Amino acid sequence: MRRVMIAVAVLATLAVPIGIATVTLVPAAGAASGTTCAKVSGRTSAVITFKKCKFTSGKDKTNKTLSGFGISLVNGGSFTWSSSGQTTIIGAPSSMSPGQGACKSNSREIIYTATVTGGTSTHSQVGDVFSATLCINSRNDKATLLAGTVAHL
């Protein structure tokens, strides 16, 4: 009986590092494309716009801002790049709100995470991750990025 318990302990000890190695060596599925946007403006109850976007592929003068209805941050939906007209479609995001968090008074922090499900943009592909930490003003519904963060897609 003692030999069986020792054998199980040895196998468990070997299995844990192998499992960790497997998890850490597998490429991240659905990793973000590397596109980041440093500014957000608008209202979540109307149109929301991501600005000051940078691309891993370099500068792109035809894709300066990404806009869509704020409700897309709740239900998922299409965002359009200006001035190219290319689109990035996200699925219904998950959201988490730590309350005020690091946002200014009268604002609540909401962390949105979604997966790109389609679109015509050359800067995002199906499976890419969209994420943004926004501060939503409770008085006027204005959205801004949490200071020191960028939106990823």
pLDDT of residue 90: 97
Residue 148 included in any domain: yes
Range of the domain at 73: 36-152
Q: How many domains is the chain built from?
A: 1
Residue 67 included in any domain: yes
- Judging by DSSP bridges, how do beta strands 47-54 and 63-69 pair with one another? antiparallel
The model's confidence at residue 29, banded by pLDDT at 50, 70 and 90, is very low
Please provide the average confidence, as pLDDT, over all residues in the chain: 81
Residue 79 included in any domain: yes
pLDDT digits (tens, 9 = 90+) for 39-90: 999 999 999 999 999 988 777 878 889 999 999 998 999 999 998 999 999 9
Does the pLDDT at position 102 exceed 70?
A: yes
Does the pLDDT at position 14 exceed 90?
A: no
Residue 13 included in any domain: no
Does the pLDDT at position 30 exceed 80?
A: no
Looking at beta carbons, which pairs linking 69-73 to residues 24 or more positions away fall under 8 Å? 70/42, 70/43, 70/44, 70/45, 70/46, 70/141, 70/143, 71/44, 71/45, 72/48, 73/44, 73/48, 73/112, 73/134
pLDDT digits (tens, 9 = 90+) for 15-27: 433 333 323 333 3
Residue 9 included in any domain: no
152 and 134 Cβ atoms separated by less than 8 Å: no
